[in-house]
Amino acid sequence: MAILKIETLGAEVLRRRAHEIQPSGEDPELDRLIEDMFETMYDAHGIGLAAPQVGISRRLIVVHVNEEGEEPFALLNPRIVEAGKAKEKGEEGCLSIPNISAAVERPATVVVEGLDPKGNEVRIEAEGMLARCLQHEIDHLDGILFLDRLSPLKRNMLVKKYRKQES
């Protein structure tokens, strides 16, 4: 296993729409990538990581919202098939934008479908932190960052703050 380099704000790969990924059932390369993504996520104390964040423009995410007792899982080609009408605000950060966080409004519940690494269909009915995390990670696959979900004023303020700490 290996800890991968996490791409940060400004990296072009974070703004690209990622390509679909083919599960093959037996794919040592995919298995290793998933292991490395988990290791990278745990090392950075994250609860989710999308492949574009490690420079790979593929529709793959790993998630472990352990505070709710959820098991870690990897999801290929995840998509939101239903979003609840009720919205919820919650604090979000991103491993690609270190030390920056903000309250983001999102649907409180979502239903997500995708494939597990073996190619089996998976359907997840999520609420709370898991729902938030899934929406955040799926956004990454479309080149969207949580900053884009904020008002322009708030976003500019946070980008300035981020640039300041980077320089």
User: Looking at the annotation, which residues are catalytic?
Assistant: 137
Binding letters toward Zn ion, positions 36-75, x by CB under 5 A: ----------------------------------------
Number of residues that bind Zn ion (CB under 5 A): 1
Q: In angstroms, what is the minimal distance from the CB of 25 to Zn ion?
A: 29
Question: Is 63:133 a contact under the CB 8 Å cutoff?
Answer: yes
Per DSSP bridges, beta strands 101-107 and 60-63 are unpaired
Of 62 and 94, nearer to Zn ion (C-beta) is: 94
Query: What backbone phi and psi angles, to 5 degrees, belong to 150?
Result: -100, 170
Going through 18-100 in order, the beta strands assigned E by DSSP cover 48-50, 60-63, 73-83, 87-93
Q: In angstroms, what is the minimal distance from the CB of 92 to Zn ion?
A: 8
Helices (H) and strands (E) in the chain, counts: 3, 7
For residue 133, the tally of other CB atoms under 10 A from its CB is 22
Of 34 and 92, nearer to Zn ion (C-beta) is: 92
Of 27 and 73, nearer to Zn ion (C-beta) is: 73
Q: What does the DSSP 8-state code read for residue 19?
A: B
Site for Zn ion in 78-97 (CB under 5 A): 94
Q: In angstroms, what is the minimal distance from the CB of 17 to Zn ion?
A: 16
Distance CA 138, CA 77 (A): 9
Q: In angstroms, what is the minimal distance from the CB of 21 to Zn ion?
A: 18
Binding site for Zn ion (CB under 5 A): 94
